[in-house]
Structure 1
Amino acid sequence: MPDLLIELFSEEIPARMQARAADDLRRLMTDGLVEAGLTYAGAAAFSTPRRLTLAVEGLLDECPAVTEERRGPRTDAPEKAIEGFQRSAGVAREDLEIRDDKKGQVYIARITRPGRPAADIVAEVLEQVVRNFPWPKSMRWGAGSLRWVRPLHSVLCILTNSAGEAHVVPLEIDGLRAGDTTEGHRFMGTGRFAVTGYEDYAARLRRDKVMLDPAERARHILQEAENLAFAAGMELVADDGLLAEVAGLVEWPVALMGEIGQEFMELPAEVLQTSMREHQKFFSVRNPKTGRIERFITVANIETADHGATILAGNGKVLAARLSDARFFWLNDLRVARAGMGPWLEQLGSVTFERQLGSQAARIARIRALARDLGPLVGADADQADEAARVAKADLSSEMVYEFPELQGVMGSYYAREAGLPDAVAVACAEHYAPLGPSDAVPVAPVSVAVALADKLDTLTGFWAIDQRPTGSKDPFALRRAALGVIRIVLENGLQLKLDRHVDAQLLRHKIALNARKASEGEIDTLEEILREVAERGVFGAAFRAVIDRIGRGDGAPDTGEGSLLRSIGDLVPDLSTDLLAFLHDRLKVYLRDEGLRHDVIDACLELDGGDDLALIVARARALQEVLTTEDGENLVQGFKRANNILTQAEERDGVEYSYGADVKFAEGPEEKALFAALDAAEGAIAKAVEAEDFTAAMAAMAALRAPIDAFFEAVQVNTDNAVVRRNRLNLLSRIRMICLQAADLSKLEG
């Protein structure tokens, strides 16, 4: 069986595209070969800045001959139809078979496709792959029509048989004829050379200073960088993303360590690290004694006689210029921060957050109001939560964040400390964006939690208010991420919050502001002035806040002209609130399923009272799943469903509701009386446990009902001829249903 080696050699491929391109080459080629009938034993793809390589082992010499049957028209079909079938199948009339079919006799053509040499198939598939390669961006060069990410210089394509004989696959693509040669490193290589197979190819490249495997280059860079740092008594700052990128920039990595000038030591570590990573692709080296970033590691693509001294000198000059800019931004920002950040906060009034949702300043005002409400509920001081929300986004106006947007929040924390604000406020500036992803840590400091929740809930309610919700796979405003952030913050901090009242109040704030912006002269009477204030500054007067707070608590608006207008503005709030909570529930289901909870268990706990309390839902779901792992729990569910089905059918048939009046004096047998006694004992215990939110105890008390319910159904006929006894037993089933539904809706469970 031959082995196949392909190399597509070009100008430098962007590092961010290399891994995907190598995988695409492997996938497209192997899929095409298999579809053509060529199977193989294994395939591996590699990339360097100048080449994509594919090695395929154990390829068939040729695709086997294939015989297929094609069903044709009936034998009594028109002659033209039969002749057309003959032409399409490529067979003569006498070669057609006649076969019985359920609708009569039909013609069958047996078509044999002969085997084809592997070289012919490889050439055909590779040409299609190259011409239709899925680069994110590609270019044409010269007078040809071929498109590639950068000009393609050569194509190596050889098949090597078991005897070690290599044969070039006959192929030409847009003037590029396939061959058996390649070249090594751009500067340290010895020119073009021929290869006979993958092993020879990889070894010759290594001699010519090319590490073919990007994973090997990354390991080499990491090891060399760590060794350099360790030798200097330092430690390398881990950066997996930068490591992968740098491994795609070099074919022969050479790690070099340089020093950062003392004049830049005053810069925050995050500024140094970000500036070096984004502009220079340098790794940061930390002094473990001082915690400062004091050195850098650059990765060259060449070995030099002076061991990199000239490279380091040049890189040091460029780095000093970059860090001088960062130092200039830092010193300018410090002056504003130490003066209270007032100019930054004013600038946010002219920065649009979203066209319909107003400015960043208006958004901050809404977040402040919500953070103040949430603060005491999460253990934070309300004034500190308010202050943290006020300055949390001030750094968006700073020069440093303008230059390095990824430092928003981090710089806000530094500036808040320089402004003399409490440490809890400074920490919240950095942490209120978290979590940004499923693996990020959630904020745990109370003030940070209050501002993070307010920020995310304001985002969700705002886009719900303007009907910009996620659809399908589209989520341009990252609302799913915001919802997951709310869920994780609540659950991982063990918070019990009634989200609906806060969602309602924030939705109402959004709807009022939207209506104020839309209102024209004369359309608003008694609230015209205050609504204008809401639209321009995003703030509420004391009386107006009191109305919103009453609505947020569910007390409703006063029966006045203002209250009537508020209600008309907020007509959509209940529906929007319900829909937003349903969205949060959907994200909660995804989160809990990843934890191993059954979807039907989650559904059984969502619809009960407290559906806006995420922690309560999760506590119910975990307790229910735990009890369902026991035999008593599983059998209880079956008993409950049997009781519920009998009761539901009887109520539909009789047109009445059996929901009260079960009396033990009508019980006829010991099993029926025992069930009354068991329900009496369990009802109080379950209610007490549910009230204490001890759902494990509540579920255990429910599971204890399994035996008396089973015994009841084995011994008793519910739909007896005695009308009084039947009614009493149906009311008893209703009691079972009501008791079991206290902790979870067991009717939602499957099975």
Structure 2
Amino acid sequence: MSDLLIELFSEEIPARMQQKAREDLKSLVTNGLVEAGLTYASAGAFSTPRRLVLTVEGLSSESPTLREERKGPKVGAPDKAVEGFLRSTGLTLDQLEIRDDKKGQVYFAVMEKPGRAAAAIIAEVLEKTIRTFPWPKSMRWGAGSLRWVRPLHSILCILTDEAGAQIVDLDIDGIAAGNASQGHRFMAPDRFAVTSFDDYSAKLKTAKVVLDAQTRADTIWHDAEQMAFARGLELVQDKGLLAEVSGLVEWPVALMGQIDDEFLGLPPEVLQTSMKEHQKFFSVKSPKTGRIEGFVTVANRETSDQGETILKGNQKVLSARLSDAKFFWENDQRLVKSGGLVAMGAGLSEVTFHNKMGSQAERIARIAALTAEIAPSVGADPALARQAAEVAKADLQSEMVYEFPELQGIMGRYYAQSAGLPDAVADACRDHYSPLGPSDDVPSDPVTVAVALADKIDTLTGFWAIDEKPTGSKDPFALRRAALGVIRLVLTNALRLNLTETFAKGYPGADTADLLTFFHDRLKVYLRDQGVRHDVIDAVLAMPGNDDLVLVVKRATALSDLLKTDDGENLIQGYKRANNILSQAESKDGVEYSFGADLKFVESEAEKALFVALDTAEEKINKAMSGDDFAGAMAAMATLRTPIDAFFTDVQINSENEIIRRNRLNLLSQIRKICLSVADVAKLEG
């Protein structure tokens, strides 16, 4: 057994590509080795800005010898048959064996493929991996044909066993594999030889390189938190930024700076976004006020002045950035205070939303009208909700949002407050985009909910009207996300909206039935994630009222709960048995048995018990359904399990007495009718 170490050393790899790159390196190499007949015990992949690394432990020293026997044509068969067999095996006639078979003598080919040394296999697999590596973007350099994300400088590839380390013989476009690497670009640039992964990782650490990305991230966060704590401040969490920064440095050195007083009045989101987007700084806030007062930058080296020069340079660049942000903020504030959000949003009439759906201003007018229509259904004041919709997107014309598009909505709230608008309006400006994703919080304030629903429904009905629907995996206008947003708004706030009627009030010309089907598909995905079976959802969606999502979910939840019980599962089987017998009889007799059974024709106790149970259950189910008490309806239906089981055990449906037979079939019809009143249980599987 041997251990394999591979390092692909290059210019800086973009941070966003590193995680997938190390996963790809691991899968491509290990899969290639296994396909070639080698086995291994474990593998691990690592990355820094300048290297991709793979270690494979317990690798077999060679692939096994493979022996294959293949039966051919009979001896004396036509020449063409024998020649075809020889071509398929790559053998000559004198290399074939002749063996006795049941029907005479037959040619046999015995082929043996000798095993290969691990080093030869590794060289082939690694060369193929490097030449076909799936970088999102790659480049060529110099005169060679090799493509890599950035110029590839060296390849380290060694096999280590009890006898020592062996360099794998490999040369790719003049880059020969070796046993050497190098450390930090500035602090330890000299090359050094290694004999194993342990030797490699230890020497890298001495050469100021932290190989593991998670270790770098943990170091950054720990040091930054300690610095903030020492000043009585608190680090603002940002997992995405932490992952990115840990991919920008090989030797992380956290440095903390202070924001100049002149910028402390800027909204915290502005400070945080400016520092994150432009300079990859972590924000540091006061735990008492929530105000952003400092920052942490992460250098890629230690310096003799403890980072003072680096910090001064960063502080200078930050001041220039924040001066721009302050300028934008003050200009926007002056505009709002002189003319309000109406003045800020005036230019939206010149901004096209979509060439088939008009300008942003026209869209806002539609959203405002729809918001006023929806408002009573969500408990919002129509006039206040309309006011919120009319100004909710005004900040799209602000200088701040033009510079930082990710602040749309957030800045709208600040500008609405500056304009003296009600808090509900300001909150709607900020929150009406939500929820954007499955993990986003769902707004609950009625005014915000009304605007958010109108915004998303206008988008959906508009794109449906111009026939720009999602197809396959393509959804350029994020319509699936918009539909899921509507679903979450409705369900989280328990809104009893008739979606078909609401769609009809949206953009004119949309096929509301087709759009409702699209919503049902999104709802299926949503409910499946909640653990509701797809057939249960289908059974519920087949019922009237399927454009009331709250009703649908309540019914689906109740049915799902019923099916988790023995009574529920057995009841459905009883229904299916009754339905099958009934369907066959109706087909044979050419009539529909749906006129109700008559108690005077009942003969057995089991038959009488089912008769009484059906009447009792129907009364309870009807009462429960009228109050949308689906759990109560399902519970009443579950009581039928025992009498239905007893009926099928004790009663012969096809009595010789035609009157008795018809009565019993009408009794089965009653079972079908009651079960179908709760859900289309015929769609349930099993």
TM-score by length of 2: 0.97
Whole-Å separation in 2 of the counterparts to 1:729 and 1:241: 67
Whole-Å separation in 2 of the counterparts to 1:14 and 1:673: 77
Paired residues for 1:208-357 under 5 Å: 208-338=207-337, 339-357=339-357
Whole-Å separation in 2 of the counterparts to 1:476 and 1:185: 43
State the secondary structure of the residue aligned to 2:166.
strand
1:740 pairs, out of 668, 675, 680, with: 675
Q: Does 1:649 align with 2:648?
A: no
Taking a change above 3 Å as real, the CA distance of residues 76 and 365 of structure 1, as seen in their structure-2 partners, is: farther
Whole-Å separation in 1 of the counterparts to 2:105 and 2:467: 61
Question: Residues 723-747 of structure 1: CA distance to partner in whole angstroms, max 9, x if unpaired?
Answer: 3332222222222222222222222
Question: Residues 133-171 of structure 1: CA distance to partner in whole angstroms, max 9, x if unpaired?
Answer: 1111111111111111111111111111134x1111111
Amino acid at match of 1:298: T
Amino acid at match of 1:143: A
Q: Does 1:598 align with 2:533?
A: yes
Whole-Å separation in 1 of the counterparts to 2:204 and 2:490: 55
Whole-Å separation in 1 of the counterparts to 2:102 and 2:331: 88
Whole-Å separation in 2 of the counterparts to 1:661 and 1:159: 83
Aligned to 1:711: 646
Paired residues for 1:123-522 under 5 Å: 123-163=123-163, 165-189=164-188, 191-338=190-337, 339-506=339-506, 509-511=507-509
Question: Residues 233-256 of structure 1: CA distance to partner in whole angstroms, max 9, x if unpaired?
Answer: 011000001000000100000000
Question: Residues 392-431 of structure 1: CA distance to partner in whole angstroms, max 9, x if unpaired?
Answer: 1111111111111111111111111112111111111111
State the secondary structure of the residue aligned to 1:656.
coil
1:636 pairs, out of 547, 571, 576, with: 571
Aligned to 1:564: none
Whole-Å separation in 2 of the counterparts to 1:358 and 1:368: 15
Identity %: 67
Amino acid at match of 2:308: A
Paired residues for 1:594-633 under 5 Å: 594-633=529-568
Amino acid at match of 2:173: D
Paired residues for 1:648-727 under 5 Å: 648-727=583-662
Backbone CA RMSD of aligned residues: 1.8
Whole-Å separation in 2 of the counterparts to 1:69 and 1:270: 72
Taking a change above 3 Å as real, the CA distance of residues 343 and 182 of structure 1, as seen in their structure-2 partners, is: same
Aligned to 2:114: 114
Whole-Å separation in 1 of the counterparts to 2:58 and 2:656: 79
Amino acid at match of 2:132: N
Amino acid at match of 2:605: P
Q: CA deviation at 1:104?
A: 9.2
State the secondary structure of the residue aligned to 2:284.
strand
Paired residues for 1:5-154 under 5 Å: 5-70=5-70, 72=72, 75=75, 78-79=78-79, 82-83=82-83, 85-87=85-87, 89-98=89-98, 107-154=107-154
CA contact (8 A) 1:46 1:54 kept: yes
Whole-Å separation in 2 of the counterparts to 1:86 and 1:709: 69
Question: Residues 435-482 of structure 1: CA distance to partner in whole angstroms, max 9, x if unpaired?
Answer: 111111111111111111111122221222222222222211111111
CA contact (8 A) 1:357 1:510 kept: no
Aligned to 1:531: none
Whole-Å separation in 2 of the counterparts to 1:468 and 1:705: 49
Amino acid at match of 1:727: R
Q: CA deviation at 1:345?
A: 2.6
Whole-Å separation in 2 of the counterparts to 1:373 and 1:332: 35
Whole-Å separation in 1 of the counterparts to 2:418 and 2:614: 65
Q: Aligned pairs, how many?
A: 685
Amino acid at match of 1:495: L
State which drifts further: 102-111 or 309-318.
102-111
Q: CA deviation at 1:274?
A: 0.5
CA contact (8 A) 2:610 2:643 kept: yes
State the secondary structure of the residue aligned to 1:58.
strand
Unaligned runs of 5+ in 2: none
Taking a change above 3 Å as real, the CA distance of residues 497 and 107 of structure 1, as seen in their structure-2 partners, is: farther
Q: CA deviation at 1:689?
A: 0.5
CA contact (8 A) 2:596 2:669 kept: no
Aligned to 1:588: 523
State which drifts further: 337-346 or 299-308.
337-346
Question: Residues 580-605 of structure 1: CA distance to partner in whole angstroms, max 9, x if unpaired?
Answer: 11111111111111111122222221
Whole-Å separation in 2 of the counterparts to 1:695 and 1:299: 57
State the secondary structure of the residue aligned to 1:331.
helix
CA contact (8 A) 1:267 1:327 kept: yes
Q: CA deviation at 1:106?
A: 5.9
Whole-Å separation in 1 of the counterparts to 2:200 and 2:656: 91
Q: CA deviation at 1:645?
A: 1.6
State the secondary structure of the residue aligned to 1:178.
strand
Whole-Å separation in 2 of the counterparts to 1:599 and 1:395: 42
State which drifts further: 437-446 or 255-264.
437-446
Question: Residues 85-120 of structure 1: CA distance to partner in whole angstroms, max 9, x if unpaired?
Answer: 435533231322457899997644222111111111
Amino acid at match of 2:490: V
CA contact (8 A) 1:336 1:342 kept: no
Taking a change above 3 Å as real, the CA distance of residues 344 and 190 of structure 1, as seen in their structure-2 partners, is: closer
CA contact (8 A) 2:167 2:179 kept: yes
Amino acid at match of 2:124: E
Amino acid at match of 1:330: W
Amino acid at match of 1:510: P
State which drifts further: 493-502 or 89-98.
89-98
Amino acid at match of 2:236: V
CA contact (8 A) 2:345 2:396 kept: no
Whole-Å separation in 1 of the counterparts to 2:73 and 2:13: 54
Question: Residues 466-519 of structure 1: CA distance to partner in whole angstroms, max 9, x if unpaired?
Answer: 22222222211111111111111111222221111111232xx432xxxxxxxx
State the secondary structure of the residue aligned to 2:444.
coil
CA contact (8 A) 2:601 2:663 kept: yes
Amino acid at match of 1:608: M
Amino acid at match of 1:475: D
CA contact (8 A) 2:596 2:670 kept: no
State which drifts further: 192-201 or 647-656.
647-656
Whole-Å separation in 2 of the counterparts to 1:425 and 1:199: 61
Amino acid at match of 1:428: A
State the secondary structure of the residue aligned to 2:401.
helix
Whole-Å separation in 1 of the counterparts to 2:526 and 2:302: 50
Whole-Å separation in 2 of the counterparts to 1:637 and 1:33: 52
Q: CA deviation at 1:74?
A: 5.8
Amino acid at match of 2:194: V
Whole-Å separation in 2 of the counterparts to 1:649 and 1:362: 59
Whole-Å separation in 2 of the counterparts to 1:457 and 1:98: 77
State which drifts further: 189-198 or 332-341.
332-341
Amino acid at match of 1:717: Q
State which drifts further: 242-251 or 365-374.
365-374
CA contact (8 A) 2:546 2:552 kept: yes
Question: Residues 552-588 of structure 1: CA distance to partner in whole angstroms, max 9, x if unpaired?
Answer: xxxxxxxxxxxxxxxxxxxxx5xx2222111111111
Aligned to 1:527: none
